[in-house]
Amino acid sequence: MKRRRLSVFPAEALHRLGMLIAFVLIVASTEFISTHSFLTAGLVFIFSLGYLYASVTTRRAGFLYGAMLFSAVSFFLICYGLGAPVTSFPLLSVVLVVFLLIVGQCLNRLPDPLRSFPLTVFRVMNMTVVVFSVWALAQVSDLMIQEGLIRHVAAFTFIGYAGVYLAHRMMGHRSMYTYIFSLFLMLGGMFLVGGLWSVDLCWLAAMASAGVILLIGTGLHREKEYIWCRHFYFCSAPIILVSLIFSVW
């Protein structure tokens, strides 16, 4: 009768302990975080290292969720301690998303048994984009009445996401990212024009976005096949329609 081999590293125990500590920090240390943001960031980053070590040791990509979550919390705590307002967090998330894109692309070189690692990183990247896109949209109306660059947080955030997903597509990933890139480029351009001048000119931003998308598609036509570039052409059609709708609004 074979005995079950016990793992020397208590990965599951660390996972539960980390989640418990995170819950306690979030619920009970709001005042402490506001006055000791750097110390809290250091502690949370230590938790992320524990998750990373658990993932490497057990070869389970699921532990990367905890590692990336705690690392992201540590990053935003440092930004908060340096004086960044909470309303700027969607824009700061672009840095985090770029980092995840680079890490995921580097992990793509792993052998097939470890293919779940880059997929997990890209999944977290997409989840981060969704969360902070909703955050940016939720505060647009409040920031539009303020002065300075803070009123353009949503615009710069979406333009940054557009660049990330364009790079993601250029790295050979699914054609779906072409449409996500086009959506963020259109929204970023429209919010930027609306914040700088007037909402009545948003149709110009949409038309310019369609032109940029067509320019990229035609520019890559010689290097890529038509099947690869056609998605850029498909994306430009609905954006032109949106531009026409806003022009007669």
175-217 residue pLDDT tens:
889 999 999 999 999 999 888 887 888 888 999 999 999 888 8
Average pLDDT, the chain: 85
Domain assignment present for residue 156? The answer is yes
- Which two three-digit tokens encode residue 52? 């990373």
Domain assignment present for residue 92? The answer is no
Domain assignment present for residue 224? The answer is yes
Is residue 24 within 8 Å of 71, Cβ to Cβ? Answer: no
Number of structural domains in the chain: 1
Domain assignment present for residue 31? The answer is no
Assess whether pLDDT exceeds 80 at residue 160.
yes
Domain assignment present for residue 17? The answer is no
109: Cβ contacts below 8 Å, ≥ 6 apart: none
Domain assignment present for residue 248? The answer is yes
Is residue 14 within 8 Å of 62, Cβ to Cβ? Answer: no
Rounded CA separation 211/213 (Å): 5
Domain region containing 232: 151-249
Domain assignment present for residue 210? The answer is yes
Rounded CA separation 81/49 (Å): 21
pLDDT band at 78 (very low <50, low <70, confident <90, very high): very high
Domain assignment present for residue 93? The answer is no
Amino acid, single-letter form, for residue 235: C
Q: What is the mean pLDDT of residues 106-124?
A: 87
